[in-house]
Amino acid sequence: MQSTRLAKLLEFLESDPNDPFVLYALATEYNSSNETDKAFEYYNKLVSLHPDYVGTYYHLGKLLEKHNDTAQAIVIYQKGMEAARNKRDMHAFSELQGAYNSAAGLDYEDD
C-alpha cells in the first residue's frame, strides 16, 4: 500500500513530470522506503534533466555507497561539487566535499 505522501507526489508528477522538486521528493521517498530501484530512477532522472539541482548529488552518492559502488559515488560527488560551485552554494559544496573525501579515503584525523 502506497503512503499518502507518495500518492500525492505521484499526482504532482502527473501534472508536471519534470518538476525537479517533485522528482527529488519522489527519489527521497522511495529511498526512505528502501525501494532503491525507484530511488535510483528518480535521482538519475534529476541528474540528467536538472544537473544544477544540487541536492541530488549528495543523496545519490550516499545511495551508491550503500550499494557498494564507491567509484560511481565519487564521480557523483565530483559532479555535485561542480554544480554547487557554479551556483555559488558553498554550504552544499562543503557537504559534498566531505562526502567525497570520505568515499575517496581522504578523510583522516590527526592523533
Question: For the segment 21-63, what is each residue's pLDDT rounded down to a tens digit?
Answer: 999 999 999 999 999 999 999 999 999 999 999 999 999 999 9
33 within some domain: yes
62: domain range? Answer: 4-103
59 within some domain: yes
More confident residue, 106 or 77: 77
For the whole model, what pTM was predicted? 0.89
Concatenating the DSSP letter of every residue in 25-91 gives: HHHHHHHHTT-HHHHHHHHHHHHHH-TT-THHHHHHHHHHHHTT-HHHHHHHHHHHHHHHHHHT-HH
Count of domains for the chain: 1
88 within some domain: yes
110 within some domain: no
22 within some domain: yes
Provide the CATH number for the domain around residue 80.
Answer: 1.25.40.10
108 within some domain: no
Q: What is the mean pLDDT of the chain?
A: 93
